[in-house]
Every structure is written in C-alpha cells, then in structure tokens.
Amino acid sequence: MKDMFLLFFVALLAFSACTQQSDVNPLLTEWKTPFGTPPFDKINNEHFLPAFKEGMRQHKAEIRAIITNPEPATFENTIEALDYSGELLTKVTNVFFALNGANTNDEMQQIAKEIAPMLSKHYDDIGLNDTLFQRIKTVYNQKEELGLNPEQAMLLDKYYKDFIRGGANLNDTDKARFREINSELSVLTTRFGENVLKEDNNFELVIDNKDDLAGLPENVIASGAEAAKERGYEDKWVYTLHKPSWIPFLTYSEKRDLRKKIYLAYINRGNNDNEYDNKEIAAKIAALRAERAQLLGFPTHAHYVLDVNMAKTPENVYGLLDKLWAPALKRAKTELREMQAISDREGNTFKLESWDWWYYAEKLKKEKYEMDDELLRPYFQLDNVRKGAFEVAHKLWGITFTERKDVPVYYNDVKVFEVKDTDGTTLGLLYTDYHPRASKRGGAWCGAYRKQMRKDGQNVIPLISNVFNLSKPTADTPALLSLDEVTTVFHEFGHALHGLFSNGSYPRLTGTSVARDFVELPSQFMENWALEPEILKTYAFHYKTGEPIPDELIQKIKNASLFNQGFATAEYLAASYLDMDWHTLTTARPVEDVLGFEDESLGRIGLIPEIISRYRTPYFRHIFTSGYSAGYYSYIWAEVLDADAFQAFKDAGLINHKLAQSFRENILAKGGTEDPMVLYRRFRGQEPSIDPLLKRRGLE
C-alpha cells in the first residue's frame, strides 16, 4: 500500500510539473532557441493576449522611468532610452502579426480585432504624453551643441517629427479626437484586410467537365486537380483567387465564360454587398485620415504622408505619374489593337473585354515573339531559382546561405537559412515560406521577427522572413515558376538583403525603416539580375534533364522584355492615381458612392475599359491596410532609382565588386540613418535619371 501511495505521489508531482510547464507563456520567457529565434513549436494562440498586455505594461514602466528621471534630458537618457524601450512588446507584435499574415485562423483574427484598439491607445498614450515630448523637445533644441554623429542626429530628428506628427502639439480637445480617430482606424484597417482574405478563400471555380479544361497546360490542370483533392472533390478541378491559380487560368483557358467568371470574382472582392463588403470601410478610412491630417495642420492625408518621403508633395507625385501615363496608355492601346486583330482573324465577333486581355496577350506574345511562358516554366524550378538568387548575392558580396533545420518554424513548408558574411560572422537568418494556403493572405512580402541593432555594446542579428504565394508542386512535378514568379522571388529577396545587411545602432532607423518611396529600391534592384543571360545560366536548368536554359529561349526572353508593358504600366499607374485621389480628399465626410468615386478617378486619366486598375478600392490592401496610403506610387519612383542604379552595373560589368560594395555600404547597410537622396547620390555619383526606366519599359 505504501509503495502504491508513493507511486501515486510521484505521478502527481510529475503531472503538476507538466501542468506548471504548460502554463509558462513562451512569449514571456527568454528564448533558448538557436540565435534566440521565436519558439514557434511552443507558441499557441492563448499566449498572445497575455503577452501583449505584459509587453504594454513593461513598456509603460520604461516610459515612466524616462519621464520621471530627475536628471536633465539628454540624448542618452531620453532619445536612446525611448528607442530601446518596448523590447518585449515589439517581440510579441512582430511574431503575432507575422503569423496573422502567413498562418492565421479565426481565433488569431479575433485577437487581432481585440488588440488593435489596445495597441492604438498604448502608442497614443506615449505619443501624446506632453512630459515626454518636452524632454524630447529639450534635447532637440540643443542638438547643435551635442556633437551627435549623423545617425544620432537623424534619430533625434525622427523622434521629434514623430511626436509632432503624432499629435504632441495638439490641444487637449484635439488630442482626444486624435485618439478616437486612431482607435477607429486600427479596427477598420484590420477588418478591411480580413474581409479580403475571406473573399479570397470563399471563391472556387469548380470544373467537373474535362472539356472545360480546354487550352490549359498540363501543369495547370494538375494544380487544379491537386486543389480539388485538398478540398475533398473527387474527379474535379478547382481554381481559386490565388495568383498561381487565376493568372494561368486567364492566360490559357479557351472557355471565355469561365475566364469571365473567375476574373469578375477577382475584381469584385470586397464589392459583393455581403458581410465582407469593404466599400463603406474604405470610405470611412479615407475620411478619418483626412480629418486626422487636418488636425495636424496638413491639407490632406497625402500631404501628411509625403512630407517625410522623397516626393515631399502630392504635386510631385502627380507630376511623375503624368510623365508616364500618356506613353503608357498609348502603348496599351496599340497592344489592344494587335490583340483585337488576332481575335478578329479567329472569326470572333466580340469586342475584347478585360477578362480577355491575359488570354490574347499570350497569343500575341507567341505570334510576335514566338514566346510561350509554359516553355520557360520547366527551367524555373523553385529550389533552383532560390539558389540562383542566393548565388547572385554570393557573387556580389561573398555572403553564404546554409539551411538550418534546428530552428523552429510555424509551418512545415518553411525553411530557415543562416546568412554569413565573408569573414564567417553571422549576418542574420532568412525564413522562406513559398506556397499559398487558406491560412495565408495573398501576395508576397518581407518581414522581420527581429531587426538588426546594437544594444549594450552587442550586435543583435536580424531575423528576416520572405513570404510568397507561388506555384505549388504537384504529385508529378516540383514547384515550377512562371517568369513573373521568378522576378517576385528576386524582389522579396532584395528586401531581405536590406534587412540582413543592416548595420546600425537604433531599431527606429535600421533595415527597411526608410522613406516609403525609397524602400522598394533594393527589392526592385534585385529583380534586374533575375533575367540577365549570364545569371540565368547559373540557375535555370530543366527539371527533368538538368540541361541549362538554351540561348534561343534566353534571346526570346530578351526580345519579349517590352511585351505588354503598356498594360503593365497603365494598370499600375491607374492604381497609383486612385490611391492619390483617395488621399487628397479634403473632407472628413465619407464618400457615399465609392465605386462612383473610383470611376471618376479613372475616367479623368482616360483608362480604357479593357484595363482594370491593378487594385480596385474594395481590395486595395496596400493603401487600406499595409502602410502604402498615398505611397503606392513609390514602386514606380523606386523603379526610376533601380533602373538608374542597375545601369551603373551594366556600364561597369555586372559582377563589379567595388560597385556592389558601394551599394551595400551606402544603400543596404544604412537603413534610414541618412537622407535617402544623399545616400543614392553617394552611391551613384549623380542624380537619378528617368531615361533608363523609359527605355526599359519601351515608353521613350
């Protein structure tokens, strides 16, 4: 009996220990993982809310310590202390919102709704704290006497401006309204993104008649079968609103009615007058932003945003767009005439519509350039494309990438690579997540679980992520990418390099924390390398035979480089105009007819009906959820910079180590520590020219 009691007692203790262990919140403990990476295998949904609350509590205590410091305000005890504060909250926030984008669920989305106003209030409490602002102001007024280095001076300027732009100079009444606006915006922008995700996942084009697959390549048919199998359909094919699904379908399907069905579903996301409708939400977001800007003394939200970007004013943005619009539209109309001629020769009597563009553009490409994307796809195996991007970075900067299988990941598809510099030191880690799933929002993006910084004399390495929605492998083939997907891999890798090469002290300024219209330079710069002949030869191998891509196909890629540029430029510029029009509104009253507003915006520039704006208002996540409001133009401005920058490499020789080192030191490593135009001129030795961009797009 005594032995039985002893065994029972030991078992009880063991159970108690396990229970206590399971009660430990991994977000609130020191991470003993390699490189201090997030322990995804231990983090559950229930851990987030308590961790957010504890993070905010600690952050408040740190701010209180700055405010109540009896010593006079200095750069170190106020500005530096402020920048390094909130470490736990930042850690929790980075992990949560990364997962909410890449591997979400209903419970996480509910937490996001709950936490959004709490975070908004928390940061408003800091940004609107007059005592803290007065300490910052004291240091700012003494900046000429402090002997600060350029990075410290920039940090001081940033925080002073942040507080001014965050309402610190408002009176009490306006501060109260400012808080209300920020709280409401935090909820609305979260809802907007969730609604688009729901609309993405709610649509299925289910095909049960094999005849309806006419025109689709074998790999597109196979991916449709795989998607059907995942959804429990027997002997059927499913196509969705994820890019790797709907774009090939529109490009190759001979069934015009089905092309129309999937395309209309795509362009009407958030516009179906259901529970996920985003029209009123978008109008309310724009109105609240206009009101907030005017509280801060700016005529419009666009003036508020652009004041700290390279463009500076809405007039400058519209000026850039106008320079490109006329030649882009002219070229698009020529492309349309050429495609209509093909349709007419086929004996069709209909006028081409927007859902026909992809299909007839592909026919025109084959006719004009003897180019078929499906002939290229076998040469673009995902693993090889990734290795190709890594190899470009190795050739330019000598860095290496080694897969680490001991680092916890949040999904079994995710891979982690340790990135080392030429001297063997670790620059950081890169997480890659390539394929679509219902738990992931659409698009491709780069994020950071932890930014690079130097703290307490120690360099903290960055943890960077690249997330995509690329073509998936099938039962018979590995993941084979389209040409567009290849450049997307290189694009997001460019963002990753910006984070990995970061070499600064303060998190407010490191990595991609730069002006919105400068942040796309590294990513778009890297796109240039993807299709250069000597680079293609290093990674484009046929997945079956291992043969390198033949010169004939490389020449066809080059010949077709100007193909469809009228369409691509026009649909992008249309979205940029739409963004600017929403954010140059001067009224705080929501627009009543959202689609009417959109039609008027696009009508002013003369967009032809056969081209739909790349993003329509109800699903324009870039500007209503993702920080690109009054900033979508930045992609084309960054393309001016990247085309000009790459021209330097073409002139000097693609693999030019001296030039590459200058790009690393002056662009990639600097983050936001200096004025972006100063950094660019230091690298290039001159102002950027628009000519290389016009030449690249055939818009001269």
Main-chain phi, psi angles of 167, to 5 degrees: 95, 10
Residues in a beta bridge with 430: 417, 464
d(CA 525, CA 532): 13
Q: Which of 151, 291, 485, 492 is catalytic?
A: 492
User: What is the Rg, in whole angstroms, of the alpha carbon atoms belonging to the chain?
Assistant: 26
Type of residue found at 242: H
Whether the CB-CB separation of 192 and 281 falls below 8 Å is answered with yes
Burial of 445 per CB tally in 10 Å (0-12, 13-18, 19+) = middle
Q: How many CB atoms lie within 10 A of CB 527?
A: 20
Main-chain phi, psi angles of 458, to 5 degrees: -115, 140
d(CA 314, CA 631): 10
How far CA 497 is from CA of 97, 539, 556, in Å, comes to 21, 19, 30
| Angle between helical axes of 150-165 and 130-141 (0-180°, round to 10) | 140
Which of 200, 189, 110 shows the shortest CA–CA distance to 436?
A: 200
346 belongs to the catalytic site: no
Is the Cα torsion angle 309, 313, 318, 324 positive or negative in sign? negative
Which of 673, 394, 280 shows the shortest CA–CA distance to 512?
A: 673
Q: What is the DSSP letter of 78?
A: I
Which of 680, 618, 561, 642 shows the shortest CA–CA distance to 278?
A: 618
d(CA 185, CA 369): 48
DSSP string, 618-669: GG-HHHHTSS-TTTTTHHHHHHHHHHHHHHHHHHH-SS-HHHHHHHIIIIIT
Main-chain phi, psi angles of 453, to 5 degrees: -165, 170
Question: What residues are annotated to the active site?
Answer: 492
